[in-house]
Amino acid sequence: MQNKAEQDLSVISRTYWKMALLEFRSPRVRIFAAIFIALRIVLKSVAIPIGPDVKINIGFFINAYGSMVYGPVVALLGAAVSDTLGWLLFPSGPYFFPFIFTEMAGSLIFALFLYRRTITARNVILSRFCIDFFVNIVMNTPIMWLYYQMVLGKSYAIFDALRVIKNLVMFPIESVLLILFLRMVIPATARFGLLNPDINGLQMNRRAITGLVCLFLFGACTTGGYLIYDYNTRSFSAGYTQQERLERNQLMASLLGCGPDQVCIVEKATSRVFDPQMVYTVAVYQVNEDVLKQKQEEDASYTLTRLQNYSRSKAAADDTLTRTGTAEIILNKHNDELISIRYP
């Protein structure tokens, strides 16, 4: 059992990490960790739906409590084991190794805030915020991008607004539920000598509620500000599907009055928040008929439609096309109504 002298050790102290490492020596902790790893694997896919596409995963309760008991070292190993065995026993798609780092980061954060610490509502709230914001939003984004590119062969929006909003909405709900869960299970398991049964700090008082609200507002303002910045600076053409790219390129050719021996390629599509206009930068290419016919003899799929479906980089690399100019076309982004064309 943790006594007062063992609580609130600094996470940067040698004593803290020495005690965390020594947890491996305890048969009771090893058994406890094995049980909780098994529970995490079984409960990982179990969730409580609370709204459309919004649910509470049961596994994070087990993760938080286990990390609080056996500390960051065992927590890191347990997360790696549960992630790997969980996929082997209950595969839900192609295995992608980097996902293991988000599992390990979540367990590590819970341990750093709760292991050998006085269990307070503040620490619980901070741990949940760090996981929802820094792990689920910040850390998970590049991993998801790699997964889509390397495994699925698809594009992935670097800033997925729906995923961000879900994490922000779930943060206060999950924090309160985790506090209630710990208030219930800590006294019930204190008899095993794993934790100090003192739960007086797990009170949702005014200070805890204020902290919860401030963290929620911080997360909302930070992500909201980045969302506006991302929207104002991104090129929407980078996320086009093949069908969308073909339709946009053909629309630009129609607006510019291009002939059958010309191809228009959308190189950039930009807009700003609350601005009804979408500004397209369009490259105009001349098709070399002789080269086109020669390549069609070698490859029957090499058609004009294929050229019209090119992205910026593909068009620039194809010697069938010769760039003849650049146009700027402004459309209403809601109905594609033409606002202006500038094609010198």
Rounded to 10 deg, the angle between the 59-89 and 99-114 helix axes is 150
- Report the chain's mean pLDDT, rounded to a whole number: 87
| Tokens describing residue 82 | 């549960």
Q: What gap in Å lies between CA 67 and CA 107, rounded to an integer?
A: 6
CA end-to-end distance (rounded Å), the chain: 79
pLDDT in tens, 157-168: 665 667 777 888
The answer for residues whose C-beta is within 8 angstroms of residue 322's C-beta and 6 or more apart is 285, 286, 288
Q: Residue 1's pLDDT is what? A: 45
Structure-token match 């206060």, residue found: 172
pLDDT in tens, 81-90: 999 998 888 8
In sign, the C-alpha dihedral spanning 118, 122, 126, 129 is positive
Q: Residue 158's pLDDT is what? A: 60
Q: Residue 10's pLDDT is what? A: 81
pLDDT at position 189 over 90: no
- Cβ atoms 62, 43 nearer than 8 A: yes
pLDDT in tens, 244-268: 999 999 999 999 999 889 999 999 9
Average pLDDT over residues 232-247: 88
pLDDT in tens, 201-233: 888 889 999 999 999 998 888 888 878 888 888
Q: Residue 260's pLDDT is what? A: 87
Domains and CATH numbers, the chain: 4-233 (1.10.1760.20), 236-342 (no CATH)
Q: Residue 11's pLDDT is what? A: 85
The answer for residues whose C-beta is within 8 angstroms of residue 137's C-beta and 6 or more apart is 163, 164, 167, 223
In sign, the C-alpha dihedral spanning 311, 316, 319, 320 is positive
Average pLDDT over residues 9-19: 86
Q: What gap in Å lies between CA 245 and CA 252, rounded to an integer?
A: 11
* Phi, psi dihedral angles at 292 (to 5 degrees): -60, -45
Q: Residue 317's pLDDT is what? A: 92
Please report which confidence band the pLDDT of residue 300 belongs to, taking 50, 70 and 90 as the band edges: confident
Please report which confidence band the pLDDT of residue 55 belongs to, taking 50, 70 and 90 as the band edges: confident
Please report which confidence band the pLDDT of residue 234 belongs to, taking 50, 70 and 90 as the band edges: confident
Average pLDDT over residues 304-324: 92
Q: Residue 248's pLDDT is what? A: 94
Q: Residue 160's pLDDT is what? A: 66
pLDDT in tens, 132-154: 889 988 898 888 888 888 887 77
Closest of 275, 55, 89, 74 to residue 177, by C-alpha: 55
H helices of 44-160, in order, are 59-89, 99-114, 121-130, 140-147
Average pLDDT over residues 8-23: 86
pLDDT at position 3 over 70: no
Q: Residue 168's pLDDT is what? A: 83
Q: Residue 104's pLDDT is what? A: 95
DSSP summary character for residue 117: S
Q: Residue 52's pLDDT is what? A: 61
pLDDT at position 276 over 90: yes
Q: Residue 5's pLDDT is what? A: 44
Single-letter amino acid, residue 38: A
| Range with the largest mean pLDDT of 94-98, 155-159, 241-245, 326-330 | 326-330
Please report which confidence band the pLDDT of residue 53 belongs to, taking 50, 70 and 90 as the band edges: low
Q: Residue 4's pLDDT is what? A: 45
